[in-house]
Structure 1
Amino acid sequence: MGAWLGSRRELPACPQPAAPPTHEQQHDQSRRLEYSIPSSPTMGTALKTWELENAVQLVDPTKDALYNYSASAQKSINEAHPWRTDPHYFTSVRISAVALLKMVMHARSGGSLEVMGLMLGKIEAHTFVVTDAFRLPVEGTETRVNAQDEANEYMVEFLQRAREQGQCDNAVGWYHSHPGYGCWLSGIDVNTQKTQQMFQDPFCAIVIDPDRTVSAGKVEIGAFRTYSTEYVEAKDKAGGASKSRSGGTDSDGFQTIPLGKIEDFGAHANHYYSLQVSHYKSSLDAKLLEALWNKYWVQTLSSSPLISNREYGTKQISDLARKTQQESANGKRFKGGQSYHAGATADKNQLSKLGAAGSKIAREEDMGLLAAKVKTQVFNLNGTESEPEPEPESERVVEEKAKVMESQEVEMKS
């Protein structure tokens, strides 16, 4: 991820919000939106499954504080800036379901190329609250994405137009994708995030893996904050190391990090830490989610993760094979030297991780095959009726077969 820095141009003041709508007005708005969105039982089931997999929580309308933006409260916490004295001040990120779906669809649209965007929201005690997200016009490759002047101008223009329309949320972070190699920060990502925290703090970094999201059926996401250079140097002198723990990966990255990325992962693991990620939605978000889901649910039924994600599956199997060969060579080397007993425990741990990685790949493939089988049975894709299941054999038939088998065994022995 190339280093970038948005302009600090002063944005126009946010217009004063109108009086909150009454309960009757909210009900009428929800009903109008409900009638304007075509729905189906299949679409509703798929949406509910996605919400359950990602633990999306419904915010109580009577306690809907997450959506109430207070400019004075944000100004007060920014002036106090407690995160400057406490490197671990922020511990969690709460992302709205609509923002999450936008980021995932953007990451998936990039294919094998990295994409990048910005997140809007506010700051609460020890928590980033993300209410919305938008993509940036950037040029990406399979390993990095660079934001140039065009992206900075677009970002400033977007924030200015949003404020003119009454969306007063500030930029609280950036997101980008890691197609197929997990949620963590590379060396370039660490430098980018440090720059943002230096000039635009509070700021967080979100990483999404679209390939693993498709294979697992659950959003593979990680949120991170970096340490200052002084803090890292002090920790190194004290003999401690602060390693990040990203979602879906081990601390050393052996299980799910590709072999070609492990070195970059381990070289910068003590420069940042991970935040806990949770998701939420409101009653109005539920209608917006239906509108977004209605556009793509047909593709979900007509596509198979085994086909759409087969390149990722092939890479996973090849990477596991290379790791297995490497571990086999290491085992032979240990066995011939004096360090055999010392390396036996570490070798066993690595083999157990390889076994877990293989089981994970097998589960994902089984899920894809099961989904294809269910679609075939539901929609009768082969154009023929399913064959009836054979009736269970009677006890008399079972006894006769047992007698025949016993007689055959006696003849063979004789």
Structure 2
Amino acid sequence: MINHSDNYVTLTNENSVTHESILVCILSIMTTNKEIVPQSINQNSLLTNSSLNASTNARESWETDNNVESILGPIDEYFKYDVKIHQSIVNAKPWEKDPHYFKWIKISAVALLKMLIHARSGGNLEAEAYEYMTTYKEVVARVGRTENVLGWYHSHPGYGCWLSGIDVSTQLTNQTYQEPFVAIVIDPIRTISSGKVNLGAFRTYPVGYRPPDDGPSEYQSIPMDKIEDFGVHCKHYYSLEVSHFKSVLDKRLLDSLWNKYWVNTLSSVSILAQPDYLAGLTKDLAEKVEHAGSSMSRMNWDNDRLEDRLAKCSKDATKLAMEQLHALTGQLIKDSLFNKF
């Protein structure tokens, strides 16, 4: 059982970071100890100094791409857990007065990498460990850890970060009976394609609450077979602003985790590892264009809506081309590095 304090995610509201912070232990509920121990091989015997430097540079690039903030100092303020302060917040229930009480979520680099490794292990299947939460709660009580489980995560491989109808129902139940609670969704397939971790954090609105119309949100590509589910429930939750940090306690765990992640990434061929994903994107794009074309024959079709759909198809086409180009470029670089001799 991992009892290191950097398995935490911090949920905060806009007014305070210290007195109204809630430490959310998410990662430990999803991973077991064996998952974070690197494979029993001597990396130094397999990698040259240049390879080690490449690994370090890759990690630094990964941290830069994901805007990982370094927190320096002898004490990690984010990991201080005060039972009295936490209980006072739980008793006050400020989220009942303000459905948007929570604004941001801070995720440690270790937690982020653990979630990514776990999500990637599921391949094209959704990865989650909801059942492990019960065992986790029992085990941490034995070692004197008083923090509660205040969140969960699962993956949406290849179709973006949002909450489906089932996800909304699950999160609403959690918020009803064990507040505060946060839902995290990660897309490992799109992460492989872009290099940046594709992740979202969400909170559901209370039953009957109608959120104000904030105008159009940032566009994200949703497959045709998921659009209806997305559209029906997109007004039932809101997203939190996500930021990442790295503490002085993270280095050793991050080194061990990165060795595992780096070897897997280096040895994989993204364009071959996700042929179904790229083929699915192409098919989905063709269906969207065909649907937009068939709509032109309708008598009362709104031209603005048609242009909007075509603009979205254009964005999806650009995204598909860039992802295939990214995958091909990565394969050419690996070929030039490892097939010289």
Q: Residue 223 of structure 1 contacts residue 274 of structure 1 at CA under 8 Å; is this kept in 2?
A: yes
Q: Distance in 1 between matches of 2:86 and 2:53?
A: 42
Q: Residue 110 of structure 2 contacts residue 250 of structure 2 at CA under 8 Å; is this kept in 1?
A: yes
Larger RCO: 1 or 2 (CA < 8 Å, sep 6+): 2
Q: CA RMSD in A?
A: 2.2
Q: State the AA in 2 paired with 1:47.
A: R
Q: Distance in 2 between matches of 1:43 and 1:351?
A: 41
- Secondary structure of 2:100's counterpart equals coil
Q: Residue 244 of structure 1 contacts residue 272 of structure 1 at CA under 8 Å; is this kept in 2?
A: no
Q: State the AA in 1 paired with 2:333.
A: V
1:303 alignment partner in structure 2: 268
Q: Distance in 1 between matches of 2:331 and 2:240?
A: 36
Q: Distance in 2 between matches of 1:274 and 1:88?
A: 10
2:162 alignment partner in structure 1: 184
1:371 alignment partner in structure 2: 330
CA separation of 1:230 and 1:329: change in aligned 2, threshold 3 A: closer
Aligned counterparts, 1:13-412, within 5 A: 40-62=52-74, 64-117=76-129, 136=130, 151=131, 154-232=132-210, 250=219, 256-331=221-296, 333-334=297-298, 337=299, 339=300, 343-379=302-338, 381=339, 383=341
- Secondary structure of 1:228's counterpart equals coil
Deviations 1:343-401 (A, max 9, x none): 2222122111111111111111111111111122222x164xxxxxxxxxxxxxxxxxx
Q: Distance in 1 between matches of 2:248 and 2:180?
A: 29
- Secondary structure of 2:69's counterpart equals strand
Unpaired segments of 5 or more residues in structure 1?
Answer: 1-35, 118-135, 137-150, 384-414
Q: Distance in 2 between matches of 1:160 and 1:243?
A: 45
Q: Residue 242 of structure 1 contacts residue 273 of structure 1 at CA under 8 Å; is this kept in 2?
A: no
Q: Residue 243 of structure 1 contacts residue 272 of structure 1 at CA under 8 Å; is this kept in 2?
A: no
CA separation of 1:163 and 1:204: change in aligned 2, threshold 3 A: same
CA separation of 1:185 and 1:329: change in aligned 2, threshold 3 A: same
Superposed structure 1 runs of 4+ greater than 6 Å apart: none
Q: Tell me how far 1:183 sits from its aligned partner.
A: 0.8
Could you state the TM-score of these two structures normalised by the residue count of structure 2?
0.80
Q: Tell me how far 1:242 sits from its aligned partner.
A: 7.0
Q: Residue 76 of structure 2 contacts residue 248 of structure 2 at CA under 8 Å; is this kept in 1?
A: no
| Matched residue count | 294
Unpaired segments of 5 or more residues in structure 2?
Answer: 1-41
Q: Tell me how far 1:166 sits from its aligned partner.
A: 4.6
Higher mean alpha-carbon deviation, 171-180 vs 292-301, is at 292-301
Q: Residue 197 of structure 1 contacts residue 203 of structure 1 at CA under 8 Å; is this kept in 2?
A: yes
Q: Distance in 2 between matches of 1:244 and 1:356?
A: 16
Q: Distance in 1 between matches of 2:162 and 2:75?
A: 34
Q: Residue 133 of structure 2 contacts residue 149 of structure 2 at CA under 8 Å; is this kept in 1?
A: no
Higher mean alpha-carbon deviation, 286-295 vs 162-171, is at 162-171
- Secondary structure of 2:311's counterpart equals helix
Q: Distance in 1 between matches of 2:201 and 2:213?
A: 19
